[in-house]
Amino acid sequence: MQLKNTSLLKSKSYINGQWIAAEDNKTFSVKNPFNNSHLANVSDVSQAQISYAIACAENAMKTWKAKSATERSIILKKWHQLQIENIDDLAMILTSEQGKPLTEAKGEINYGAAYVEWFAEEAKRAYGDIIPGHQQDKRILVLKQPVGVVGTITPWNFPNAMIARKIAPALAAGCTVVIKPSEITPLSALALAELAHQAGIPRGVLNVVTSNNAEMVGDEFTTNSIIKKISFTGSTKVGKILMKKSAKNLTKLSLELGGNAPFIVFEDADLDDAVSGAIAAKFRNTGQTCICANRIFVHETIHDAFVKRFTTEVQKLKTGNGLLPETQIGPLINVKAVKKVTTIVNDALQKGAKLITGGKSGNDGKNFFDTTVITNINASMKLMKEEIFGPVAPIIKFNTDDEVLKMANTTEYGLASYFYGNNLKRVWKVAEALEYGMVGINTGMISTPVAPFGGIKESGIGREGSKYGMDDYMILKYICFGDIQ
């Protein structure tokens, strides 16, 4: 891996402003998913070291929360600036450990940095309230204060942006943080920590603990009474475990969990726009996003035309090494992911699905699965109920609005949804009827720092981004002044 700024490639945990090796120098290996080549041996810290990081964060919060919002804002803006200045190296690290194409990696860096910039400004807008008193001699006000030390657990699919999206509002609010990045992609987190150090974020305010034992870290976060807030992005199964374990301390939670996003194309949609939107919503990051289009519903009158045009565009997508400029689709994260996607596709084919293109995994030992389009889908198939997390597009035919809404909402998940159509009456009806936290209308790209990201049902609780994004890291304190004459 050739970097301009070699200081960004770290392999030790970042605790209390220092780079710390694990006890007994224990490490775990990080590999490139394109060819499984070794990238780095990263420190595998102990529970005692994680507890130490939490204690350091608690100590650092005394001075960090006391800083003015403007002071915190200036430091965050410097962190944002350094991320933009080092975008090429950050993207190189990200692609090397995660596999996504460099163009997507740079997009992720910009996206994550935008959250840091946004919350650098929101730090100065954490307004309280003055409330008319209930009695003549009473004056009532409400303050917003930082919730406390935050433990964050981030996934491998967006190893840069998920950290920025969680950490920026926490720091802006006056909280300190301990970050546990995915053991599959820790290098991006460590690079961000180095830039945070360079930006002047004080020691102990931001800590990154690297570990190959996610359960151990989760246990420490949920049982350590210093941790007042946990922010987690990952599977619904793990989210429920964290919720259950954190009940002991009534720890505040933000959970961004699984998805099963519908993508609906009505008969009055612009077909070319719908195809482009579906490509973007389905194949970003090789289909490995929680808001990917998981089920594509197309009205029966345009079904065949859509399938033809969509398949033509899918077959144009260039699969390969994410470090090559022509690559549009990278590998899946590991062989386990390939096996899961293979199982889901084979299940559909055995139950009567029709394979239009793709359908195979690579035979070269690499973690690839063909970009795939399948039709003739029915409700018994795994792909109608499970999150595919791969480059597989199932297309389902529908007839009426009520029929497609029922199919779209028949899932325990409620994260993202999409639909294409131009009838204004229908647009309002469908947008309001879809049981999801986010709805994209005539667009396949909905993520932005200015809007609240999050789901309902078993897709989680809480929101990230927008003016609402600070709320999960703050508490409301009601103050009543009496005896005012």
Instruction: Determine the Cα–Cα distance for residues 296 and 362; give it in Å rounded to an integer.
Output: 25
Q: What is the pLDDT of residue 362?
A: 73
- How many whole angstroms separate alpha carbon 388 and alpha carbon 346? 12
Q: Please determine, for residue 169, whether its predicted confidence score (pLDDT) is greater than 80.
A: yes
pLDDT of residue 366: 80
Comparing C-alpha atoms, which of 15, 188, 204 is closest to residue 106? 188
Average pLDDT on 82-94 reads 98
At 99, the pLDDT band (50, 70, 90 cuts) reads very high
Tokens of 59: 């100590």
- How far is the C-alpha of 189 from the C-alpha of 10, rounded, in Å? 9
Comparing C-alpha atoms, which of 268, 267, 304, 298 is closest to residue 408?
A: 298
Taking the C-alpha atoms of residue 320 and residue 308, their distance in angstroms, rounded to an integer, is 24
DSSP one-letter code for 458:
T
Residue 289 burial class via C-beta count within 10 angstroms: exposed 0-12, middle 13-18, buried 19 and up: buried
DSSP 283-330: HGGGG-STTSEEEEEEETTTHHHHHHHHHHHHTTPPBS-TTSTT--B-
Please give the mean pLDDT across all residues of the chain: 97
What is the rounded CA–CA span in Å between residue 119 and residue 130? 24
Distance between first and last Cα of the chain: 71
Q: What is the pLDDT of residues 15-35, one digit of tens each?
A: 999 999 999 999 999 999 999
Q: What is the pLDDT of residues 373-412, one digit of tens each?
A: 999 999 999 999 999 999 999 999 999 999 999 999 999 9
Annotated active-site residue 435? The verdict is no
Residue 250, SS3 per DSSP: coil
Closest C-alpha to 65, from 473, 477, 485: 473
Q: Tell me, what's the pLDDT at 365?
A: 61
DSSP 202: P
Catalytic position from the list 183, 290, 292, 387:
290
Average pLDDT of the residues in 170-199: 98
Maximal CA-CA distance, the chain:
83
What's the pLDDT at 165? Answer: 97
DSSP track, 52-110: HHHHHHHHHHHHHTTS-HHHHHHHHHHHHHHHHHTHHHHHHHHHHHH---HHHHHHHHH
User: What pLDDT, in 10s, does the model give residues 400-456?
Assistant: 999 999 999 999 999 999 999 999 999 999 999 999 999 999 999 999 999 999 999
Tell me how crowded residue 485 is: count the other CB atoms within 10 A of its CB: 4
Contact between 163 and 152 under an 8 Å Cβ cutoff? The reply is: yes
The 10 Å CB-count burial string (b at 16+, else e) for 169-189 is bbbbbbbbbbbbbbbbbbbbb
- Domains belonging to the chain, first-starting first, are 6-257+459-478 (3.40.605.10), 261-448 (3.40.309.10)
Angstrom distance (rounded) from CA 413 to CA 436:
8
Residue 363: its pLDDT value, please? 59
Catalytic residue of the set 58, 220, 256, 458: 256
Residue 211's pLDDT is 98
At 139 the pLDDT is 95
pLDDT band with cut points at 50, 70 and 90 for residue 364: low
% the chain with pLDDT above 90: 98
Active site residue 256: yes
CA dihedral 210, 215, 219, 221 (to 10 degrees): 40
Q: Residues of the chain with pLDDT > 70: what percent?
A: 99
Question: Above 90 in pLDDT, residue 1?
Answer: no
